[in-house]
Chain A
Amino acid sequence: MKFLPLVLGALLIVLAAWLWPGGEWRGGILAWVNETILLFLAILLIRYGIRLLRQRKEPRPGSRLRAKLVIALVGMLMVPSLVIQLTASQMVERGMAVWFDVRVDKLLDRALKLAQGFYERIEKDLKRSLRGYIHDPQLAVAARSGAPAGDLIPYLAETMRREGWEKVQLFDINERFLAGVQEGELGAVEAEPLSDTARLSLQLGQPTTEISIKQGRQQALGYAPVMDALGVAGLLRVELELPEGVIQSARSVEKDYQSYLVLERNRQFLQSMFRHAMLLVTLVVVLVAGAVALVFARRLTTPIGELAQALKRVQEGDLGVEIVAHSQDELGSLIDSFNQMTLKLRKNAQAIEQAQHDLTEALASSRQRQYVLESLLASLQTGVLLIDAGGRIRLLNQSFRELLSVPSGWIPGASFIQHCQGFLPELAGFYDELTMQPSGYLQQEFDVERAHRQPMRLLVRGTRLKADDATGFSGYLIVIDDITELTEAQRSKAWSEVARRLAHEIKNPLTPIKLAAERLQRRFRRQVDDPEVFDGCTRTIISQVERLQRLVEDFSTLARLPEPRLQRVSVRHLLEEMAELFHPYKHVSVILPAADLTCQCDPDQVRQVIINLVDNALAAAEDHVQVRLYVQANDGWIEWHVEDDGMGIPADIAAHIFEPYFSTKERGSGLGLAIARRIAQDHGGDLELLSPADPTHFCLRLPGARPSMEES
């Protein structure tokens, strides 16, 4: 389609070259007008075609439609115009073939020959008659003498009558009129100047004739030289009146014949001119049709182009576009509809923008609230679980995951009941009971077993959430708190109170009992019958009282454990003390740290804890079992590790070894590890059983010395 204008332009150039005026007949101005129009159209088409080929970007909206309309309209007019031209050319060629038919040519030629024959006959007869008077002696004498005789006039009259002439005149050699007669009026004979034909007769010595039209009459004029022995003496001029209309008919035939000749000679030119005239009409029709089509198409496509341009701008987001309607027709109605559409779009866009702005603000506020809520939930030590009415998890925070160590399947959208079965039956039971509660609130405490650790005490509270108009959400909110330490603290406090009361109530009477027993032993030993039994009984009393005193002392220590006096303590130095202390025990190995670590602690209390741990290891292990004491620095903490390869601690016992008054020894108070953990917690650290067996591994974690403190 892009090459169509170029092809049409090339065709027009070929047509212009074919019709280029040349030769003798150049076609006149019509040919050049046609050439000009053809070349003009060819240049327009070629220029348009080149512009189409070089066009890279999308053409202006409506230009293609305009081109199609122009081509369609011009083509619609060109086809009948070309048909008419071809038909007319054929008709003209056939008509001219008829006009210039050979029969017409012959007819005119014969008519001309007939006229020529008529004239030739008259002239021949006239010449023949005149030849008889060339040597007429009477005429010669009169001509030679220059003075006409008296009988010359009758002689001329007789001759005129005899030959049938209308007029006879005699001239001398000097063309001087001598005498003459004519039919009818004798007085009308006048001397007329001789013509070239007459002089030619004098020169040639032969009769000559010519045809003359005078006063509407046709005459044949004859000239004959009059000769004597000396030569030409004069000239005889005669006139013969021709039949009226014959000469006119002959001239008319001559004129028609000449006109026919001109037309025949111009036949090619006429055909060419007619062809050019028809071509000019066609080209003018094409030009006018093209101009009208262009104007019409422009008027039609301009609003469409503006509409397309406006639609493109709307597509690009410019809703402020508005088109001016120049007409009230369908296009005008379409433009009005478009303007109304853009107006509505603008209003809708403004409304959407306003709504978007409001939504953005609401979303920002909602996100802020969500962020605050998520931060709050994340920072909470309390586990939070939100379950919808369908029993599916909607939300759970990190503390909930860490407290219960839930598997990865616990995600929002998962079924709470399904995940609870077999994993947290207590929590599943709590949920079932909560759903049954008429009040919608339930609180319970239960223990959750943990591997190698003391069971975790949980406080679980549940609330039913009812749907309202604002949220439309209904479900259950479960909040879980780890109250293990709280319970432990309460228990320690209770034990401390018990210990204080025991110490207060038991410690005071023990000393008098012991003193009384010793006094009995000193004063009444010699008075008893069996001193051995007496000694045995008193020693038993004294030893049991002393045991009770130690027990009470331990309880007192547990109850009133002093505040640690923190100071910077060299770990290496403390370990060296331990190594010196347990030097007799060959299977106790104290591993000194490579670097000089510093611990912020009360050295006496820490020393007490370590000795307690090592003593327990030695007590529980056999002689050949290795006991290892070493220290590690870990993330700002100083960890004291005591390991032994003994039999280990049973699992059921390991969970209670830090409880006060829990001991597996016969003579133990069960307060050693409880005091040790209390010391560790008072330092801000902890004492944990990392492994109950293989090896039995305790870890005392204490805070390390701060750099500023170390510098100070």
Chain B
Amino acid sequence: MSRSRFPWLVAGMLGFMLFAVQGFAGESVNLKVQIDEKVVYCDARWPGDVTTIRKALQSGVSLTLMWQMDIHRLRPYWFNKKIASVQAARRVRADLLSHRWILEDIGGGITHAVFSVDEAVAFLVGLNNFPLLDKSLLAAGATYRLSLTARLVEGDMPTNWWARLWGRSGFEMSLDFRLPRAS
């Protein structure tokens, strides 16, 4: 193999690997953006199999669903500009001694217990009216892209950054939206 083509081949294979590790963007998602007078919200739902999550919770496994939401302003001939980055994490811990499920909003510090697994599943897999950012940060008429990464972790939360590399991959979703021009 000629020396000039070998780096291109290596670069191509690395690109393939990075693409593969990044997960599966563009899968069927439930992602919506809601905008009121001051705040931009989003509704998101875990696109994976909920039955598996329910069975895991019923069997006593603790689950944590981490959401990573990034908002970029799309620029046609340049890199997109990052506007905001928001993280959210929800954890459902099974209390086997009391037959309850402890629901924890890790970011907000709110904890409460439920006795129904459906409530626990609904808490875990959905984000409803989750506030993303202040509307004033966005320009009217411009196109923005909400990129959302959901990653499910079983058991204890990993403390090392590289630990997620060894785990299963999550899902990526994206949605383009635009602020309506002021009339």
Residues of A within 8 A of B (CB): 21, 24-26, 28-30, 32-33, 35-37, 39-40, 43-44, 47-48, 112, 115-116, 119, 196, 210-211, 250-251, 254, 257-259, 261-262, 265-266, 269, 273
Contacts and interface: CB of A to CB of B under 8 A. Distances in A.
A24 B56 CA distance: 13
A686 to B, nearest CB: 92
Nearest to B55: A265
B9 A40 contact: yes
Contacts of A266: 154
A251 B60 CA distance: 13
A265 B169 contact: no
A269 B155 CA distance: 14
A273 B166 contact: yes
B47 to A, nearest CB: 12
A43 B59 contact: no
Interface residues of B, number: 31
Nearest to A115: B97
Given A26-B168, A262-B61, A36 B14 contact: yes
B115 to A, nearest CB: 10
Interface of B: 1, 9-10, 13-14, 16-17, 20-21, 48-49, 52, 56, 59-62, 94-98, 112-113, 154-155, 165-169
Contacts of A259: 155
B56 A265 contact: yes
Contacts of B16: 36, 39
8 contacts: A35-B17, A36-B16, A116-B97, A196-B112, A250-B97, A257-B60, A261-B59, A261-B60
Nearest to A21: B20
Given A258-B61, A265-B61, A29 B96 contact: no
Contact of B166 (A28, A48, A251): A28
A506 to B, nearest CB: 121
Contacts of A26: 168-169
Nearest to B20: A32
A265 B56 CA distance: 9
A23 to B, nearest CB: 10
Contacts of B17: 32-33, 35-36
A47 B1 CA distance: 8
A257 B94 CA distance: 11
Given A36-B13, A39-B16, A40-B9, A211 B97 contact: yes
Given A39-B13, A258-B61, A265-B56, A28 B168 contact: yes
Contact of B94 (A25, A211, A251, A258): A258
B49 A24 contact: yes
Contacts of A254: 95-97
Contacts of B48: 24
Given A28-B165, A254-B97, 11 more contacts: A21-B20, A24-B49, A28-B167, A32-B17, A35-B17, A35-B20, A40-B10, A257-B96, A258-B60, A259-B155, A262-B61
B97 A43 contact: no
Nearest to A197: B113
Contact of A29 (B52, B59, B113, B165): B165
Contacts, number: 79
A210 B102 CA distance: 13
Contacts of B113: 196
A109 to B, nearest CB: 10
A25 B52 CA distance: 12
Contacts of B112: 196
Nearest to A51: B1
A163 to B, nearest CB: 22
Contact of B155 (A32, A251, A258, A273): A258
Nearest to A36: B17
A416 B166 CA distance: 108
Contacts of B95: 254
B13 A40 contact: yes
A127 to B, nearest CB: 13
A265 B1 CA distance: 45
A81 to B, nearest CB: 21
Contacts of B13: 36-37, 39-40, 43
Contacts of A25: 168
A29 B19 CA distance: 11
A115 B95 CA distance: 12
Given A36-B14, A119-B98, A211-B98, A262 B155 contact: yes
A29 B9 contact: no
A694 to B, nearest CB: 99
A474 to B, nearest CB: 75
B7 to A, nearest CB: 13
A265 B154 contact: yes
Contacts of B155: 258-259, 262
A266 B113 CA distance: 26
Nearest to B166: A28
A265 B52 CA distance: 11
Contacts of B97: 115-116, 119, 211, 250-251, 254
Given A28-B167, A32-B21, A115-B97, A44 B1 contact: yes
Contacts of B56: 265
A24 B52 contact: yes
B169 A28 contact: yes
A26 B21 CA distance: 10
Nearest to A266: B154
Contact of B98 (A24, A39, A43, A210): A210
Contacts of A196: 112-113
A487 B92 CA distance: 151
Nearest 4 CB-CB pairings of A with B: A262-B155, A32-B20, A36-B17, A29-B165
Contacts of A44: 1, 9
Given A258-B60, A262-B155, A29 B166 contact: yes
Nearest to B97: A119
Interface centre among B95, B112, B155 (most CB of A within 10 A): B155
B9 A43 contact: yes
Contacts of A24: 48-49, 52, 168
Contacts of A40: 9-10, 13
A517 B95 CA distance: 197
Contacts of A32: 17, 20-21
Contacts of B98: 119, 210-211
Contacts of A258: 60-62, 94, 96, 155
A26 B112 CA distance: 33
B113 to A, nearest CB: 7
Contacts of B20: 21, 32, 35-36
A26 B169 CA distance: 7
Nearest to A277: B166
Contacts of A29: 21, 165-166
A555 to B, nearest CB: 113
Contacts of A33: 17
B60 A269 contact: no
Nearest to A33: B17
B52 to A, nearest CB: 7
A250 B95 CA distance: 11
A265 B60 CA distance: 11
A30 B1 contact: no
A632 B28 CA distance: 124
Nearest to B49: A24
